[in-house]
Each structure stands twice: as C-alpha cells, then as structure tokens.
C-alpha cells in the first residue's frame, strides 16, 4: 500500500511542479508586458541615436569600398549595395524617430518601428556575411549585429528568442549560397550558434536590468504619490487640505498681481453638523462628509479648487471670478444642497449650509496667508449669526 501511494504521489508532484512553473511563466510574461510602453519610449530614443551614428559610418563604408581596388567586382558591388540599402533605411529611421522621441506616451508606430529596425539590421547583416563568404570565411559582421541588437534595443525575452532563432535559420540557409567548402560551412554555422547565443544572452540581461529599473522607479513614484497624498490631501475626503490650499493660493496671488483678474474665495460650513454626529454617530457623519465632498466636486468648474478647511468647513477657490459672481454661484449651490439627500445605509439625511464670499483682490497686499481667509470667514460668521442657510458677501471697506 505504501508503494502504491508513493507511485501515485510522483505524478501528483510532477503536476504541481508543472502548474507552479506555468504560473511563474504566466506571471513573468504579464510582468514583461507591463513595461512595454516604457521600453518602446526608450527604444525610440535609442533608434534616433543609432541612426545618427550609423548614417556617417555607412557613408564612409560605401566610399571606402567604392575606391577600394578589388578583383572581385561582384563582392565589392554587393557590399556597397548592402550598405547603401542600410543607409537609406537609417535615414528613414532617423526621420521617423526624430519626432517620435519627444512623445511621452508610446503609439503603435513606435512599437512597429523597433521591430522593423531589428529586421532590417539582422537581414542586411546576414546578407553582408553571405556576400563576404565570396572572399573570406569570417562571420564577424553577424556576431556584431547579434551583439548590437542585444545591447542596444530593449526586447522582451520571448520576442528576442523568436528574433534570434529566425535570424539563425535564415543565416543557416543563406550561407550555402556562397560557401562551398563543407568544413568552412560547418564552422560558420557553429560559430553562428555562438553569435546568436551571445546576442540572446545579452538581450535577456539588458531586459532584466531595465525591467528592474523601471519597476523600482514605479515603486518610488508610487511612494512619492503616497507621501504627497498624506501631506497635501485630507485622508477622509481626499480633498486638498489646508497645506496644499496655501500653495495654490500663493500661485493664485502671483497670477492676480500679474494679470489683474479677480478670484473669489468661498467658505461654507454645514449647519448643525454636530447634531448629526450626536444622533447617528461619527461613522455616519464621516460618510456624509465624503458624500458632501463628492457633491461639491461635481458642482464646481474644473478650474476651481475645493478643499477641506477643517471639520465640516470647506473652501472653494474660484479663479477669474468676481465676488458678485461668487455669490451667485454660492446661492445656487446653497439651494442644491438643500435639495440633496445623503444616504448612509438606511439613514437619509438632509442639511443646509452657510456661505461666506470674498474677493482676493480686496486683500491682495496682506502679509499673512491667513488674511486671505479673513474676509470670507467673517462673512461666514455673519451668515451663521443671521440665521444660517444663507450667503453673505464680505465688504473690505467695512471690515466684513
């Protein structure tokens, strides 16, 4: 019985191993796809640089072979023709990548361009090696193109394997066109395996290195965004907090001083919010605040800023808006809030708000940032004193 169970356990263990390997391969393939966009951007910039370097090198090669004294005219013309075709392609790659390299997001042309470059380099490199066999047995050019493709372009391992395997099959077949010595043919084919092996190995190393760099940069960016979120945004409502608002106000002050436009500041406070917390509890109050924040965002312009000022107070910064226009907007918002139903579970809540409105131009020369809230805050106080659920406009000359 023990032996039977043991023999049955072996296929089971093999199945588990195969399943684990399959999951790892799927994860690796998925992870590789996650960085294709960044690699396409990097490859496009590298194609531009490669083209700049390759164009003069091909011109020099053409001139050297054109003036070289050789009895084998076919070989010389073949090499000149190959370099001429490469020169034309490189000029095309230069023109195509010149504008594309400035993009911050990849497009389909960039993905296609990198593989077209590989196909052109590998194909014409093999052609040059085959032509060289007319006068020599060296395959140095094939080795060089395998290395160049491997260390310059970021190609994911699966695509790289297909490229190098296909290139070797083409190389394997075309060598017979000009190589007549069986021993030389065998040697060059064996050396070709080494060349594609080196190229593929370098390609995998480069891909892995850049993959790790890209993923590390993503983690750093995510951490920076998280820190920024913690520093500048309210954790309950995800609205800008007072710290971020002060930065935006400084920027708006500079804009007002430069262009002379008006900017309205609106401070609003939820009336009798304490009674909601006392009656239903703080979780219900917090849920309502989140819904209220979403409601404000949905009813302001994209150019406006809604921030949580503290507790149940919110502030709206409205660039290029006069105090009168701010009052009109606040009145419309006040009526919308009165009609709004906030639902928390089985609880339905309605509330009202008091508003204070001021213009930043009235206090443009003040020294403290707190002064920019002063008039709107005083107007809000008056709205509360005069019965709540109303809009009050600040008057700079009267101090309120």
Euclidean distance between CA atoms 340 and 98, whole angstroms = 54
Options 38, 252, 262, 312, the catalytic residue? 312
Q: Is 312 a catalytic residue?
A: yes
How far is the C-alpha of 208 from the C-alpha of 233, rounded, in Å? 36
Q: Which two tokens stand for residue 248?
A: 């935006």
Ramachandran area for residue 268 (φ above 0: left; ψ -120 to 50: alpha; else beta): beta
Strand pairing report for 313-319 and 263-270: antiparallel
What positions carry a catalytic annotation?
A: 312
């Amino acid at each position: 019985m023990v032996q039977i169970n043991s023999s049955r356990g072996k296929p089971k263990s093999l199945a588990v191993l195969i399943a684990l390997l399959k999951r790892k391969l799927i994860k690796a393939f998925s992870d590789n796809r996650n960085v294709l966009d960044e690699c396409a951007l990097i490859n496009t910039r590298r194609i531009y640089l490669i083209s700049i370097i390759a164009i003069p090198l091909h011109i020099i090669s053409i001139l050297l072979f054109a003036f070289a004294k050789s009895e084998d005219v076919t070989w010389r013309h073949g090499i000149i023709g190959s370099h001429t075709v490469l020169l034309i392609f490189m000029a095309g790659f230069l023109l195509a990548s010149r504008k594309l390299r400035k993009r911050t997001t990849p497009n389909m042309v960039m993905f296609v361009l990198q593989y077209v470059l590989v196909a052109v380099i590998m194909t014409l490199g093999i052609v040059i090696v085959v032509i060289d066999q007319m006068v020599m047995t060296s395959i140095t050019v094939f080795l060089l193109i395998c290395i160049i493709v491997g260390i310059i372009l970021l190609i994911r391992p699966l695509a790289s394997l297909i490229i190098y395997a296909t290139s070797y099959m083409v190389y394997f077949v075309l060598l017979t066109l000009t190589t007549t010595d069986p021993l030389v043919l065998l040697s060059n084919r064996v050396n070709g395996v080494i060349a594609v092996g080196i190229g593929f190995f370098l390609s995998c190393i480069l891909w892995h290195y850049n993959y790790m760099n890209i993923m590390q940069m993503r983690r750093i960016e995510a951490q920076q965004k998280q820190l920024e979120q913690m520093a500048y945004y309210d954790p309950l409502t995800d609205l800008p907090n007072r710290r971020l608002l002060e930065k935006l106000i400084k920027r708006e002050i500079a804009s007002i001083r430069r262009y002379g436009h008006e900017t309205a500041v609106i401070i609003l406070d939820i009336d009798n919010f304490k009674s909601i917390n006392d009656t239903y509890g703080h979780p219900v109050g917090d849920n309502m605040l989140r819904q209220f924040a979403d409601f404000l965002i949905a009813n302001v312009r994209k150019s406006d800023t809604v921030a949580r000022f503290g507790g149940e107070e919110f502030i709206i910064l409205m660039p290029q808006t006069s105090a009168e226009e701010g009052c009109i907007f606040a009145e419309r918002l006040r009526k919308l809030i009165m009609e709004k139903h906030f639902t928390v579970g089985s609880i339905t809540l309605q509330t009202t708000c008091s508003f204070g409105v001021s213009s930043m131009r009235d206090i443009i020369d003040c020294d403290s940032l707190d002064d920019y809230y002063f008039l709107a805050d005083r107007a809000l106080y008056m709205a509360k004193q005069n019965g709540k659920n109303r809009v009050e406009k600040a008057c700079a000359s009267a101090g309120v």
